[in-house]
A and B are shown apart, each in its own frame.
Chain A
Amino acid sequence: MSIAVHSINKRFGEFVALRDVSLEVPTGQLVAILGPSGCGKTTLLRIIAGLDSPDTGRVFLQGREATELPVQQRRVGFVFQHYALFRHMTVFDNVAFGLCVRPRRERPSAAAIRAKVEELLALVQLESAATRHPMHLSGGQRQRVALARALAVEPQLLLLDEPFGALDTQVRQELRRWLRRLHDALHFTSLFVTHDQNEALEVADAVIVMNGGRIEQRGAPEEVYDAPASGFVHRFVGSSQDLPARRTAGLLYVGPMAPVPSAGTDGEVSVVVRPQDVQVNRAGEGWPGVVGAVRVVGPLVHMEIALEGHNGDPLVAEFERERYRADPFLTGQTVCVTLRRYRTYPTDPVG
């Protein structure tokens, strides 16, 4: 089922949750809405589901206007962050719920419901848990029950609110890959909300980055990572750090580094650079600094450099561990920093 949302606005009292949000998701895609908490991503998801209504704007599902359509008639599966399993029902009854509440004429027979639930429990690998209650399940198992329950009504669209937010890193990685395979196997459209960039980048066909009730960028994961549309996106997706800079007559001055040609209006700008794009030289051109703490993070090494005349946080340079080991730096050593790649944005961006 395709989704189209046109110019949605939503306020809660004084708080503006969504400002003029429009988006389209074609049928069959798995799309992530990525943003910090309070950016409006969950509200957007709830409006698409029909759990909240927009103040202004319209929602289209499969090309048909659904703005006023009650949640029951939208044929969407909604999975809550904390799963919202019916605590007084067994796993089986949870999954069967959507079929059991259908009007008598449309309700499958008891045997058909049983077969369907068993099929879904097999799909989520929980056949043995059918008679258990949610409180006796682990977080990952609860999440899979919630998914099976949503899938029981054969939704055209699956909406997931922070689906893996409350799980351990390991379970989370397993489950998101599993969700991706499930999505590919069942051919529905999925939209999930997350504040975890890795989750969005790894699983989704497209990523929508939100901030302060607005959509900042929409694009393929590499596109959002490689060509962020705003300073916010650059900083939020992947790790990055800011350096103050100045643009004068088409030349960009970053600290004492040699000026480089740069298009844009003159004045103060922020240079945003990722740690792996920081080049550290033992001598020569660049911004001099002193090596500080060095930390090994799995296969990577993070090295802090206190730049001369820079009052902000030390700059972090990232190396592959093997390469760093072959030619390490010493704490206190003077080095020269240049930037392999960076982007410039107006200083003090909105939000």
Chain B
Amino acid sequence: MSVAAHLPRPARGLGRGFLVALALGYLALFLLLPFGVVFAQALSRGLATYLHALTEPMARSAISLTLTVAAIAVPLNLVFGVVAAWTVTKYDFRGKSALITLIDLPFAVSPVISGLIYVLLFGAHGWFGEWLAAHDVKVIFAVPGIVLATVFVTFPFVARELIPVMQAQGRDEEETALSLGATGWQTFRRVTLPNIRWGLLYGVLLCNARAMGEFGAVSVVSGHIRGLTNTMPLHVEILYNEYNATAAFAVASLLAMLAIVTLAARAALEARAPELKRTGRTTGGHE
């Protein structure tokens, strides 16, 4: 008798229909419904109010700060991620497993703690607080603090995405390139980079989504100064606390659209590069 005969058959009829309905219903209730509410609320007072909420000066300032922070944090973590993944997969050295574990630290720590770390280091009563004050450098309650907190929270994304891809590919192609006379940079650009490009793009996408959406860590270091240190997620919260729900949802709808774009790009990437599905999948942090 074959083993297959002992396996339960796929549920049919009533049972199968019930399970599918349950899964879809759950998804609708907890994901799609809130998503729809965001857009419904945002547009509840008409398109003009919606557009005004997005173009008034405080909103514009929040949007531009979020874009600025992402424009600094994402390239930094792109470089760091590639270097870390390269180091971990192409070299053997002491402390390698410790490095791999440390890369995951921001995923393991609550974002609030991530923010507090920087307050403790650079705040008025922090370790470097006096020195910074004496040299008139503002980190906490200023843009540098927001950038630092965002960089910290988002640094695992690119590295996490690349390490499994690069591990699977091994070192042979790079070593061949070197033996054929290529320099280290030529080897990276002509051999490594083309092999990891889809994974890299995907990591950058996730990193960007998180950089723009980060709330907890940024909230601790920002000080919520309107027009100066408010990012989009913080701006949404302030508006909401002021009972300005329409404006809050209008700004939130931008973040929701970012999520949709990220998911669509991800689907497109996975269709393009099936190896992304096979290798280890990154899980997000808190929020």
Contacts and interface: CB of A to CB of B under 8 A. Distances in A.
A101 B179 contact: no
A85 B177 CA distance: 10
Interface in A51-89: 51, 70-72, 74, 76-78, 80, 82, 84-88
Contacts of A85: 173
B172 A82 contact: yes
Contacts of B180: 97-98, 101, 149-150, 152-153
A51 B172 CA distance: 10
Contact of B175 (A74, A77, A84, A149): A84
B273 to A, nearest CB: 11
Q: Is the interface of B mostly helix, strand, loop or mixed?
A: helix
Given A97-B190, A101-B186, A101-B190, A84 B181 contact: no
B183 to A, nearest CB: 7
Contacts of A102: 181
A49 interface: yes
Given A84-B172, A87-B173, A77 B195 contact: no
B19 interface: no
B269 to A, nearest CB: 16
A77 B181 CA distance: 10
Given A88-B194, A88-B195, A97-B190, A153 B173 contact: no
Contact of A101 (B173, B181, B194): B181
Interface residues of A, number: 25
Interface in B36-84: none
A51 B183 contact: no
B176 interface: yes
Contacts of A49: 179
A101 B177 contact: yes
A84 B173 contact: yes
B34 to A, nearest CB: 42
Contacts of A82: 172
Contacts of B172: 80, 82, 84
Given A86-B191, A97-B190, A78 B181 contact: no
Nearest to A93: B190
Contact of B179 (A78, A86, A87, A88): A78
Contacts of A98: 180-182
Contact of A97 (B175, B182, B194, B195): B182
Q: How large is the interface on B (under 10, 10 to 19, 20 to 34, 35 or more residues)?
A: 10 to 19
Given A86-B191, A101-B186, A71 B173 contact: no
Contact of A80 (B176, B178, B186, B195): B176
Contacts of A97: 177, 180, 182, 190
A51 B194 contact: no
Interface in B156-185: 172-173, 175-183
Contacts of A84: 172-173, 175-176
A150 to B, nearest CB: 7
Interface in A140-169: 149-150, 152-153
B182 A101 contact: yes
B183 A101 contact: yes
B186 A87 contact: no
A78 B180 CA distance: 8
Nearest to A88: B194
B60 to A, nearest CB: 43
Nearest to A73: B181
A78 to B, nearest CB: 4
A77 B177 CA distance: 10
Nearest to B197: A88
A10 to B, nearest CB: 13
B237 to A, nearest CB: 45
A203 B241 CA distance: 82
Interface string A87-108: 1100000000110011000000
Given A86-B191, A101-B181, A51 B173 contact: no
Interface in B179-208: 179-183, 186, 190-191, 194-195
Nearest to B181: A72
A78 B190 contact: no
Nearest to B176: A84
Nearest to A50: B179
Interface string A13-50: 00000000000000000000000000000000000011
A87 B176 CA distance: 12
Given A84-B173, A87-B195, A101-B190, A77 B183 contact: no
Interface of A: 49-51, 70-72, 74, 76-78, 80, 82, 84-88, 97-98, 101-102, 149-150, 152-153
Interface of B: 172-173, 175-183, 186, 190-191, 194-195
12 contacts: A51-B175, A72-B181, A72-B183, A80-B172, A80-B175, A84-B175, A87-B195, A97-B190, A101-B182, A101-B183, A149-B180, A153-B181
Given A72-B183, A101-B181, A101-B186, 14 more contacts: A51-B175, A70-B178, A71-B178, A72-B181, A78-B175, A82-B172, A84-B175, A84-B176, A86-B191, A88-B195, A97-B182, A98-B181, A102-B181, A152-B180
